[in-house]
Amino acid sequence: MFERKINFVFWGIILVGILLAVWIITPLFKTPKLPKTLINTDLKADQLQKEIEALGEKINELETATRKEVRVIREKTAQEVRSLPGSSIANELNDELAKFRGMGVRSSRMDDS
């Protein structure tokens, strides 16, 4: 009977030791709980990243539209310039140059017009 008590105490100590080991080791394998501020920061960073990507796409669309518009304006201007006589082009360039220089003085025209 004494051996039975010792056997019971022995198994009890082993069980308590196992439970104590599990209680000590379990937190080592748990993932730590993230603070709410860190979670909110991550969500905000993701939202900002999506906004940046959307703005990048919008910029690309505007760039494409602007390039098309510039191409149309250049073609229109080139067509207008082609329809002008040569001396008229020179006179217009002289006018633009005078405006750029800030002078009201115009150079004399070649065709006296």
Q: Judge if 19 and 61 occupy the same domain.
A: no
Q: Judge if 69 and 101 occupy the same domain.
A: yes
Q: Judge if 60 and 18 occupy the same domain.
A: no
Specify the pLDDT at position 108. 60
Task: Write phi, then psi, for 33 (nearest 5 degrees).
Answer: -75, 130
When pLDDT is cut at 50, 70 and 90, the band that residue 89 belongs to is confident
Mean pLDDT, residues 66-71 taken together: 97
Q: How many domains does the chain have?
A: 2
Specify the pLDDT at position 58. 98
Specify the pLDDT at position 105. 57
Domain membership of residue 61 (yes or no) is yes
Domain membership of residue 87 (yes or no) is yes
The CA distances from residue 82 to 67, 74, 76, 85, in Å, are 22, 12, 10, 8
Mean pLDDT, residues 71-87 taken together: 85
Q: Which domain holds residue 6?
A: 1-30
How high does pLDDT run on average in the chain?
A: 85
Contact 90, 110 (CB under 8 A): yes
